[in-house]
Amino acid sequence: MDRRKPVLQACGLGRRKPGSDQWLIHGICMAVRPGDRIALGGPSGSGKTVLLRALCLLDPIDEGSIEWKGEPIRGDALPAYRKEVLYVHQRPALLEGNVEQNLGYPFSLRAHRGREFDRERIVALLDALGRDAAFLRKSNRNLSGGEAQIVALLRAIQLDPTVLLLDEATTSLDPATVAAAERLLDRWWSEAPGERAIILISHNPEQAGRFADRRLHMSAGGTVSER
């Protein structure tokens, strides 16, 4: 992969409040290159979540373009795009069932046909987060907010996306588990040198400083600038 070329590029990106003329985000131009580690900061309500959801095309955009490897994303390319660009929500939705079922679910989808749930890998990742294999048997109904975040993080990492979008994905974890999650992300990112990118929304400047090599700031008007 060419390190210099953006994989993901947004140009003039805008999304309006549904049913209104009001812009939630507006005029956003940004490029994500393989190997980037980007922290996205800015005030509450400025549109950071709206931006990440727009970038992975979970929500429609009203203005501008998003290109993947230099090409606009057409309808039939959307499933492939969604494999490459994965979004992890701060309050993840989990399916009815235990942790293992939740982690195995993506592999039942057509998008991931040909790949299999790797239990051994998950057990090793859990170990890095201070959890043993018994955690896999826990019901989704009994998970704390932090435990649900662990499941969501592992569910995304195991799919090895090219761009991982983390929306305050460690905010419910205790400090030791936050540190373990950052090490785990660091290891995952380093496993494929110069191939994976991470965008992390964080309100914690220390975390952003530890984690990122680029800092983006979203202003209250829903525009982004490089810091």
Ligand X SMILES: Nc1ncnc2c1ncn2[C@@H]1O[C@H](COP(=O)(O)OP(=O)(O)OP(=O)(O)O)[C@@H](O)[C@H]1O
- Out of 3, 5, 31, 45, the only residue in the binding site for ligand X (CB under 6 A) is 45
Look at residue 199 and give its three-state secondary structure: strand
Residue 182: phi and psi, rounded to 5, are -65, -40
Which region among 4-12, 45-53, 66-74, 141-149 touches ligand X (by CB under 6 A)?
45-53
**Residues between 14 and 43 with contacts to ligand X, criterion CB under 6 A:** 17-18, 24, 42
How many residues contact ligand X, by CB under 6 A? 11
| HSE-CB for 1 with a 13 A CA cutoff | 15
Three-state SS for 175? Answer: helix
Query: Smallest distance from the beta carbon of 85 to ligand X, in angstroms?
Result: 17
Q: How far is the CB of 222 from ligand X (least distance, A)?
A: 7
Q: How far is the CB of 107 from ligand X (least distance, A)?
A: 30
Report d(CA 196, CA 170) in Å as an integer.
19
Q: Which residue is nearest to ligand X (CB)?
A: 44
**What is the spatial order of strands in the sheet that 85-88 belongs to?**
85-88, 163-167, 197-201, 37-41, 214-218, 224-226
Per-residue binder mask for ligand X (CB under 6 A), 46-85, x = binder = xxxxx-----------------------------------
Residue 13's DSSP bridge partners are: 28
Q: Which is nearer to ligand X, 19 or 114 (CB)?
A: 19
170 binds ligand X (CB under 6 A): no
Pairing of strands 23-32, 8-16: antiparallel
Which residue number, 190 or 219, has a Cβ lying nearer to ligand X? 219
167 strand-pairing partners? 201
Least separation in angstroms between residue 121's CB and ligand X is 31
Of the two residues 50 and 73, which places its CB atom closer to ligand X in the complex? 50
Closest approach, Cβ 179 to ligand X, in A, equals 22
Distance in angstroms (rounded) separating the CA atoms of residues 153 and 121: 14
**Tokens matching residue 19:** 């049913």
Give contact residues for ligand X (rule: CB under 6 A).
17-18, 24, 42, 44-50
